[in-house]
Amino acid sequence: EAGVAQSPRYKIIEKRQSVAFWCNPISGHATLYWYQQILGQGPKLLIQFQNNGVVDDSQLPKDRFSAERLKGVDSTLKIQPAKLEDSAVYLCASSAGRGAGSETQYFGPGTRLLVL
Amino acid sequence: AQKITQTQPGMFVQEKEAVTLDCTYDTSDQSYGLFWYKQPSSGEMIFLIYQGSYDEQNATEGRYSLNFQKARKSANLVISASQLGDSAMYFCAMRENAGGTSYGKLTFGQGTILTVHP
C-alpha cells in the first residue's frame, strides 16, 4: 500500500513570494492533516480535514495560509506571501477514520521550505 | 503550560543496551491517548506505539514498550536492545478526549535526539 505522498520535497523562495505544497493521502483515508515543524520543535497542527470539510484550522494563520481538499482526496497548502518565519518542514498526514481514539496518523516525508 | 514535556534534548546509548526516553503530559481529560513517533533524518514521522488512558497494561510493540504511570502523568518510551538504526529524533504526542467525541488533534513534545553508539 502506498504511503502519504508529498511534493515538492524541497523549496527555496524569497520572502513575499507565494508557494504551494501538495499532499496525496493513503488511499481511502478520510482525515488529512497539515503540520508545520519548525527546526528543533515538534510538529504543530495547522489544519485538519475530514473528507473535504475543515474540522480544525484554529492554528492556521489565515491571513497568509490557505488550504483546500477538493473531492476529499488530495490537498494543497498555500502560503501567500511568505515570511522568513515560515521556514519549516510542512508535514502531511492521514488517518483512516476521523482521527479519534487510538487511530494512527501516517505521515508523509514532508516539504522543507526555506524563505530567504 | 506545556501539554507535553520531553526534558532530554539528547540521549546516548550503547548498541544492544536499553534506553528510556522521558515524557510527561498535562491534561484535565479523563480519556486521552499517548503516542510515540520516530523521526529519522529523512524527515518522515514513523508511528511506534500507543497507550490509552484507560489501558491497564503498559503497551508493547516489539522492542518498544511504554512505561505508563498515570498518577505521575508520565509515558516514558523504553527501547530494548538498541540498534544503530534507532538513531533518530523521538517525539511523544497526546490526543486529548480520546474517547471519540473530538476530532483527535495531536499535540507533540519538543523531541529527544537519540544517538546509538556501536
Q: What is the pLDDT of residue B98?
A: 53
Q: Do A93 and B45 touch (CB under 8 A)?
A: yes
% of chain A residues with pLDDT over 70: 98
CB atoms within 10 A of CB B15: 13
Residue B105's pLDDT band (boundaries 50, 70, 90)?
confident
Find where cell 473528507 sits. A51
**pLDDT(B90) > 70:** yes
Query: Closest to B44 (Cβ–Cβ): which among A40, A98, A109?
Result: A109
For residue B26, report the phi and psi dihedrals to the nearest 5 degrees. Answer: -135, 120
Taking contacts as CB-CB distances below 8 angstroms, the residues of chain A near B7 are none
* Residue pLDDT, tens place only, B36-89: 999 999 888 999 999 999 998 999 999 999 999 999 999 999 999 999 999 999
State whether residue B85 is helix, strand or coil.
helix
Q: What is the pLDDT of residue A108?
A: 95
Q: Which three cell numbers, joined as nine digits, stand for A33?
A: 492533516
B47 touches chain A (CB under 8 A): yes
Give the span between the Cα atoms of B113 and B8, in whole angstroms: 8
Residue A103's pLDDT band (boundaries 50, 70, 90)?
confident
